[in-house]
Copies of this chain bind each other. A is one copy, B any other.
């Protein structure tokens, strides 16, 4: 079975006997080595590719290269999970609220001066973009991810990134950002950064809570949409 091959290679990768960047033998080689046909090997590789463990390049010197799964991959599956499971937008938003609110104290505690400087710069740019009518959800998402990065915890940053990343791509509806929302949103972003700079965890959390709750209400208003994710 090709499942066996998948598991075998998976184990090799997990055991670090295959490291990111390594190239697996060609499909023909693998097939011969494992005593299966090429088609079977290909199916195994497809699965690994779909799982984000391997990247396949064509042409000479091509083949399957070990990669480290990206948060985008996880985010994609998460998007599938959300858009296909009986999860409602409200539920997802709630989960996001809990998580993003929970990391605030950690962010406040661990943010470096550089973090703060970059956040301030980001807010400034976003306000400019807002005036130019170019402010949108991607920018808001970037801000939230940048805040998560202040925890200096890759796992947290990755999770928040997953929340904000491909998730949005799967939810095409209602991406329009009401202008006043954008204004209020960036204002809250600015206030949050200042609270963070002042190492005032409680105030930062209050601001973030209000910010996220506004989103939650917006999601709740959008009946019929299975999930939403924007607060501008």
Contact = CB atoms under 8 A, between A and B. Distances in A.
A78 interface: yes
Contacts of A2: 46
Contacts of A20: 84
Counting every copy of the chain, the complex holds 2
Interface stretch (A94-102, A124-132, A191-199): A94-102
Interface residues of A, number: 49
Interface string A14-49: 100000100000000000000000010011001101
A64 interface: no
Given A91-B154, A95-B155, A53 B80 contact: yes
A80 B13 CA distance: 10
A66 to B, nearest CB: 9
B91 A98 contact: no
Given A73-B77, A91-B155, A91-B156, 10 more contacts: A2-B46, A14-B80, A46-B46, A47-B50, A51-B80, A69-B77, A74-B77, A74-B81, A85-B154, A95-B155
